[in-house]
Structure 1
């Protein structure tokens, strides 16, 4: 146990307003803390069928209503296979999978497999829209390390709205390293998926408004897996938390006030070894896995502390000064023993490795005023052309003092440096999304493998979803050498640009 002081029981409290007070001022985006009395909802593992060597999942985007704690009456929401959020898809490296995605909404949507390596036509970006009443059937082979990924809509200009209403879910990938690891493994018991999101309610309904605040709307109510004031019973000495920041704009700094955590994985899979940390910053779209120790009979809460946003102009208005409890854990009087976290290298580790010396190209990306490299997203324009098999370095910089979260589709990258210095611990291991502190250079190493298509692009963009919707996104294609003359958008996409 890594306890800095005795873990006293934490009594449930009445609704209070958590206000972060610092020398710089008082938070203006206060979070309301509920009573922690509601059992944490665990997203079910998605059912699947296997036929002809292909594992097939079924997802349906649909409308529904959800009874949120503290609200009068049901709230209108969207979800996959239910009223809010969606089931967890689980698959193994080497498996061929397919997903039948049905759109039962009254407007088009899409489903992007965030963090997944797959063909661009299966990626679920804004070029793979699903009309109402239609079914999209992407399929691919899982060929990447064990990791915690997620899925969510990606309609151009409407991603924030669709995610805010509830369309999101987790994906868990397994491989030989994860299946032989000394780690908590029982899903929903000592291996917990935690989708952390913030929302604002008005008259019992979800409210999404924009008043010019950056980096977008910050909700005053925080939920985990759709549960407000969530409580999780603990039955083991160690619990694995798969943390996903599923919010549209808020950055969190997760901590346990009286103990450390073992960081074991980032967006794209395991670190080389566990790293003991006090606090973990996660921006929208980022994931991490931590293992936490518990003592018999204790009650303890995971918090989001005041978060260092790295030199933004007014941190108090951007959530930097907010501090609030997120989830309560109640440990049983007798806990199942657990070994210290440990795992072996995957049998694919050598082929998965990246080497900066092999970098063929260096590209620079500057984010400013809803633009990347001076341009807003245009569905008809290819911004970058990449050759398959190439290793590249992308140098990414935010030129304005507001939060940005940079995500690249298809690949997992290594963060080589931040302003020439080693990256912080939360950027250890493979990543697909990183928080960009203003006016700092982030050097990202990535390799583009397997899939080529001169017509259908992947995306790179800010994962602050308001920023993405308003144009902070670009497109790249991966091609074979000699296909340069074939690069261009497919029929039906020419001239479809961003509406200012």
Structure 2
């Protein structure tokens, strides 16, 4: 697709906003935050996830059809221990193939749960996972080619926590008391309040975004916390939306971990941006006992505020991140003027503070040296590769080719450090994920990045040339290769995905 044609399509789509859905119901915030049940996964049998159908009332009186792992929507929190084998069985009780991908986990390709490992209705997949990963917050979800977007959207996802018995965790870690999982998603609802997933042109182009924010499956919930340090494990489990989290009173907090595990030291900040599938652990001080809300800037479909195609300084129209902007302001694509999105609220209970009372100055992070790269690879994310998807819409791809399941795109040698350069063929935001390892971000948009502050990653925002340094220690065969892809789920379903072996 030529650039001019692409810009014309984007502008034309403004006549049919994707998110401005009138409704006859009101989504009331303030229900208690559900705390996911914990499933401790060890070497024994009996750890079973059943992929099942369910129903849920996200809003008063309206019932939505959902999917989940062993519950009506989402799944339990899976807790693994480093150095201990994890045996788990996943039973497919649905009517189409699924997988269980252990997103971010360092396991061989035949255990990774990618598209090659899909299993059908009535079948069970029972992997034995050798847990060789630093303490971290990870993600699990179905990963069937062409169906990842709708399956995750319906609820086939959950959080993983890996504990490392070799380190003394100096942070709050009493689960459900001062250590809380926050699975953040946006969902779209029709006039009656039923959750819907129906792709229009803008949804295919930018990824599907919803008009309501859920945390752990509840719209804008409330959490009561102790008056002290509280650890929040935040997972952006949305299909495409970017969040820029902050508190309404402007309070600072400290990031202590990213995708791959703990940072070298706590990092003070007042806002935190997470793209799809990114995770971050933050520690927040609530000793002042003041109620507060967690909100996000309403970042639009191309991932930035006031970004995208900008015009001159006169009275012309400019394409902003959410719609058409003229010299008198912005006409938002979702019918508002950029008001912050409320994520959830906090109040402080009467219970005495639990756990540590102050943050350490350093953290027990696992930071092996990668050394200099012996090889460089280039990846271009393509918004159009020719042809049409089944069901409508353009195919997407990487390096000029859409994903094909029986094609190996790259061959990587185990133990060798490589530098990957990722870019896009159009002025679009993407979110690049690599299976089987964690990596260091070296540069973005030609500017060096302090990788010690960002930490170990398995997802990185691509909004201009981006370089990552990585090494693979787990093997992947031609039968069960690793994947690299855009983690905007509608993009990967459209073919923006490749696969590689590690030998």
Paired with 2:339 and 2:493, the residues of 1 have a C-alpha distance of: 25
1:364 aligns with 2:378: yes
Deviates further, 234-243 or 264-273: 234-243
Q: In structure 2, the residue corresponding to 1:163 is in which secondary structure?
A: helix
Q: What is aligned with 2:314?
A: none
Q: In structure 1, the residue corresponding to 2:264 is in which secondary structure?
A: strand
Q: What is aligned with 2:295?
A: 303
Q: What is aligned with 1:447?
A: 471
What TM-score, normalized to structure 1? 0.83
Pick one of 246, 251, 254 that aligns with 2:245.
254
Q: 1:355 Cα shift?
A: 2.7
Q: What is aligned with 1:265?
A: 257
RMSD of aligned Cα (Å): 2.4
Q: What is aligned with 2:207?
A: 216
Q: In structure 2, the residue corresponding to 1:38 is in which secondary structure?
A: coil
Pick one of 330, 334, 339 that aligns with 2:357.
339
Q: 1:136 Cα shift?
A: 0.3
What TM-score, normalized to structure 2? 0.83
Distance 1:344 1:108, change over 3 A: same
String of CA shifts for 1:412-436, please: whole Å, max 9, x gaps: 0000112342337897000000111
Q: In structure 1, the residue corresponding to 2:88 is in which secondary structure?
A: strand
Distance 1:176 1:422, change over 3 A: farther
Q: 1:85 Cα shift?
A: 0.4
String of CA shifts for 1:112-170, please: whole Å, max 9, x gaps: 11001101111111100111011001112111211100100000000000001011000
Deviates further, 262-271 or 27-36: 27-36
Q: What is aligned with 1:473?
A: 497
Q: 1:403 Cα shift?
A: 2.2
String of CA shifts for 1:89-113, please: whole Å, max 9, x gaps: 1111111112100001011111111
Work out whether residues 356 and 445 of structure 1, in 8 Å CA contact, stay in contact via their aligned partners in 2: no
Unaligned runs of 5+ in 2: 1-16, 310-319, 324-332, 384-395
1:182 aligns with 2:170: yes
Work out whether residues 181 and 344 of structure 1, in 8 Å CA contact, stay in contact via their aligned partners in 2: no
* Counterpart mapping for 1:56-455 below 5 A: 57-68=47-58, 70-176=59-165, 179-202=167-190, 203-213=192-202, 214-258=205-249, 259-307=251-299, 309-310=303-304, 311-313=307-309, 314-317=320-323, 321=338, 323-333=340-350, 335-336=352-353, 338-342=356-360, 346=364, 349=366, 352-357=367-372, 359-369=373-383, 370-423=396-449, 428-437=454-463, 440-455=464-479
Distance 1:30 1:332, change over 3 A: farther
Work out whether residues 410 and 501 of structure 2, in 8 Å CA contact, stay in contact via their aligned partners in 1: yes
Distance 1:427 1:401, change over 3 A: farther
Q: In structure 2, the residue corresponding to 1:67 is in which secondary structure?
A: strand
Q: What is aligned with 1:45?
A: 38
Q: In structure 1, the residue corresponding to 2:206 is in which secondary structure?
A: coil
Q: In structure 2, the residue corresponding to 1:74 is in which secondary structure?
A: strand
Paired with 2:224 and 2:495, the residues of 1 have a C-alpha distance of: 43
String of CA shifts for 1:14-41, please: whole Å, max 9, x gaps: xxxxxxxxxxxxx984699943320001
Q: 1:238 Cα shift?
A: 1.2
**How many residues are treated as equivalent by the alignment?**
442
Distance 1:345 1:190, change over 3 A: closer
Q: 1:48 Cα shift?
A: 4.4
Q: 1:298 Cα shift?
A: 1.9
1:35 aligns with 2:41: no
Paired with 1:377 and 1:473, the residues of 2 have a C-alpha distance of: 5
Unaligned runs of 5+ in 1: 1-26, 480-500
Q: In structure 2, the residue corresponding to 1:466 is in which secondary structure?
A: helix
Q: In structure 1, the residue corresponding to 2:150 is in which secondary structure?
A: helix
